[in-house]
Structure 1
Amino acid sequence: MVILSACSSDTVRPGVPNVPVNEQISVNSLQYPMLRQDGGYAYIQGGYRGIIVVRQNASTYYAFERACPYDPDANCGVVSADQSNLFLTHSCCGSQFNFQGAVTSGPAVYGLLQYRTSLVNNILYITN
């Protein structure tokens, strides 16, 4: 008799709750001056705990959920850009992520939840 236990694990990935995301912003808006330069970012409403939009270049933008994948329900903070503007960090657990959403330092082992982005003229559409 063989017993399979593939579905049980001591490490369960915490899930960021699935909420509808359908946002749009003008990347040239005076409201988001940092989105005019590569590596710039902006915080916007939406998602589960907010969204951070990161500009890689003039035609490529990323949008990430600000809830930390280590503990998405933590009430003590959200993922934000570090003062150096070189990485993203969660103030509670100390996890760090690069500007592409990948983990660079734990305790988080999963990257940031990424939303789809589409740039049409100067309007960035963010959806899931």
Structure 2
Amino acid sequence: MCKLWALCALLLLFTTACNNSNGIGPRIPEVFVDEQISVNSQLYPGLRQDGGYAYINGGYKGILIVRQNASQYLAFERACPYDPTASCSQVEVDPSNLFIVDDCCGSQFNMQGNVTGGPSVYGLQQYRTALSGSLLYISN
């Protein structure tokens, strides 16, 4: 019984010692996301080709949409997970169109939102997407 109590106390100590109780990294302030765009719109020419992208308003600091293929789109919060509340923290696609970067902290992410370099250890926050015809719905 005493060993079980000690194990439980130790586990409690480890879980409360973390600076984030849910284990997902720095908290990006939660905002309601319910956006829809036409992927065929003249406003988003990058969404007409695989690997293309577009920025839209919404989310906490904006939303980055990346086209994987004609039927799959990914949507990411533009706040960098390293320090999301920093005034300069906003990711963008590098001019090479090969990766996503936050020039504020230097973190880099691949086009699927996974961290590949810099101080961030967490990937980009991803929103749900659903494609119906040419309408892309983005939500959280």
TM-score of the two chains, using structure 2 as the length reference: 0.87
1:8 alignment partner in structure 2? 16
1:10: Cα distance to partner? 5.4
Q: Which runs of 5+ in 2 are unaligned?
A: none
Question: Contact 2:83–2:89 at 8 Å: present in 1 too?
Answer: no
Find the residue that maps to 1:104 and give its secondary structure. strand
Richer in strand (by share):
1
Q: Deviations over 1:12-61 (max 9, x none)?
A: 42111111000000000000001000000000000000000000000000
2:81 to 64, 69, 73: 69
1:101 to 113, 118, 127: 113
Q: Which runs of 5+ in 1 are unaligned?
A: none
Q: What CA distance in whole angstroms lies between the structure 2 residues aligned with 1:62 and 1:52? A: 8
Report 1 or 2 for greater relative contact order, CA contacts < 8 Å, sequence distance ≥ 6: 1
Find out whether 1:56 has 2:65 as its counterpart: no
1:127: Cα distance to partner? 0.3
Number of residue-to-residue matches in the alignment:
128
Q: Identity of paired residues, percent? A: 62
C-alpha RMSD of matched pairs (Å): 1.2
The structure number with the bigger radius of gyration is: 2
Q: What CA distance in whole angstroms lies between the structure 1 residues aligned with 2:18 and 2:128? A: 31
Q: What CA distance in whole angstroms lies between the structure 1 residues aligned with 2:82 and 2:91? A: 11
Q: What CA distance in whole angstroms lies between the structure 2 residues aligned with 1:9 and 1:36? A: 47
Find the residue that maps to 2:75 and give its secondary structure. strand
Find the residue that maps to 1:6 and give its secondary structure. helix
TM-score of the two chains, using structure 1 as the length reference: 0.95
Question: Contact 2:68–2:74 at 8 Å: present in 1 too?
Answer: yes
